[in-house]
Structure 1
């Protein structure tokens, strides 16, 4: 509580922090009232060890880049800053839930919902890649479901981590990316991390939506990473009999170990998943952020 009270005091001139609404390995999210614009917002505050590893200058630079991304399937960044040692950025408060919360509740999703979510996230990534921005941490926790749409959040944090340097990050115990969704080239630190790395992560997310679990699981992050580097995932047909063959083939291509064997551009993924009409509404359900 002392941490939250210090945060409330640090932001009191601009935001009235009300309560915690979510927490992960990198940050804690608070519901707040934007006093200047009289609106509800979500304030994401980096964990102290992460803030220490990145530093305020690098964080604010990368978040500013993310704030310039404007797309229907990207959660916008309203504001960012440093206050009394807290590094934070501000987003709209969205009614709905994360894809992680939905997967935890339902396990497998319908084919229609999984493909629509994938298509909308692919559109967000295609736009960001066109602006020269790679996400580096696509995962269910960063995909928000609201109304009839999926929105991708947290552009900038992983990019700031990557540019900070491996030695400094190791010292603070922070890593870039999430093992269950990490491409081989990102996991190994060998080769360029580009838009095809985001493709791989999105392939892992699609695999989980259809199969009920990520392509690789293990008791430790290191064991999962070893599988990304050297093991082929089990066929989705084992977990999802009757899955259309072209969908299984598309997922397999997204999960290719070598970036050159994936799609040339993430925008091509939408064409590969064209069996579902683009205007088919898929209700996401209701709930809070999770």
Structure 2
């Protein structure tokens, strides 16, 4: 993996304690060998270290009975964190598992198979998606100029986000490294539900530079417009290689322009107005949700039979619109092997959406 991509991943995470930074660096240096080869949950054999984020490391693992590949997300081993902090990190993985159940039939959200513990560490097994992140694609293009690619990437994200918003959920941590384009079917997946929250609930946390200004103090309730802001940041980064409001380490001043005029001019004309409205300081000045953004993107989306873009990505997000691959059957396989409802979350998941035994 190129060093610039690795550096970006280590910088663009929520603030970490020194121990977590040291542990992430150790994982990259050793290839995450600490748990390789181990049996987890009496089902999964850990094979390969894939990467690390703010609160967890991710491995490729094999389910013994079926030989299916899964992505196995591990909470970091306990270091110098307080008991409260370490427990909170584990609860974020459990939270992601519960929301994965709620969104079990949403295309673009990796399927959750199991959640439990390995020693004192929380673990989460999900569908393994082989492909590239939007972050990697941006680093290769520097910047992205193809309107069809931009519209198709945002369009796919908005299709998945629309289903999430209809379920009353806000992702709260959209950023390029959490968006993965699958190599098998060119489908864009939204990863990491650990910060997601129900509309109207307090903000759980996000990533500096992508979090909406109204949520930076972590006091206000979240709304779908917070995801619209984050998605606007992704669009602007794709086209200008910069983030609005200077990366907003703190709350930007009201009335401040999202971008200097010279940077705004780098956004393709047909997307510029939408991009700047998506990152408006006042939430009421943004599109109301992902479905509203998708409606504005509709005229720009590739059509069935359109040629492949000259500088298409590989995998290519435009293929979902150019080719006859978007009509997929609803998820039905391995439904019985999903995690079951637990007393802590059963009341929050409608009965009709809970996994079948």
**2-structure distance, mates of 1:255, 1:35:** 46
Distance 1:242 1:256, change over 3 A: closer
Distance 1:154 1:236, change over 3 A: farther
Is 1:254 matched up with 2:284?
no
Counterpart secondary structure, 2:205: coil
| Rg comparison, structure with higher value | 2
**1-structure distance, mates of 2:267, 2:256:** 24
The CA RMSD over aligned residues, in Å, is: 3.1
Counterpart position of 1:149 = 187
Higher relative contact order (CA 8 A, sep 6+): 1
1:1-290 correspondence to structure 2 within 5 Å? 4-5=33-34, 9=38, 11=40, 13-47=42-76, 48=78, 51-56=86-91, 59-69=93-103, 70-109=105-144, 110-147=146-183, 148-155=186-193, 157-159=194-196, 176-217=205-246, 224-227=249-252, 231-234=256-259, 238=263, 241=266, 243-244=268-269, 246-279=270-303, 283-285=312-314
- Cα shift at 1:63: 1.7
- Cα shift at 1:120: 0.7
**2-structure distance, mates of 1:71, 1:235:** 38
**2-structure distance, mates of 1:206, 1:242:** 9
Counterpart secondary structure, 1:103: helix
Which ranges of structure 2 fall in alignment gaps of 5 or more residues? 1-29, 316-357
**2-structure distance, mates of 1:231, 1:78:** 45
> What is the TM-score when the length of structure 2 is the normalising length?
0.67
Distance 1:252 1:3, change over 3 A: closer
Distance 1:142 1:61, change over 3 A: closer
- Cα shift at 1:232: 2.2
**2-structure distance, mates of 1:228, 1:36:** 56
Q: How many matched pairs?
A: 270
Counterpart secondary structure, 1:127: helix
More displaced stretch, 35-44 vs 136-145:
35-44
Which ranges of structure 1 fall in alignment gaps of 5 or more residues? 167-174
- Cα shift at 1:19: 1.8
> What is the TM-score when the length of structure 1 is the normalising length?
0.81
- Cα shift at 1:271: 1.4
Counterpart secondary structure, 2:216: helix
Distance 1:216 1:26, change over 3 A: farther
**Structure 1 residues 209-229: Cα deviation after superposition (integer angstroms, max 9, x where no partner):** 1112222446xxxx5233376
**2-structure distance, mates of 1:284, 1:227:** 34
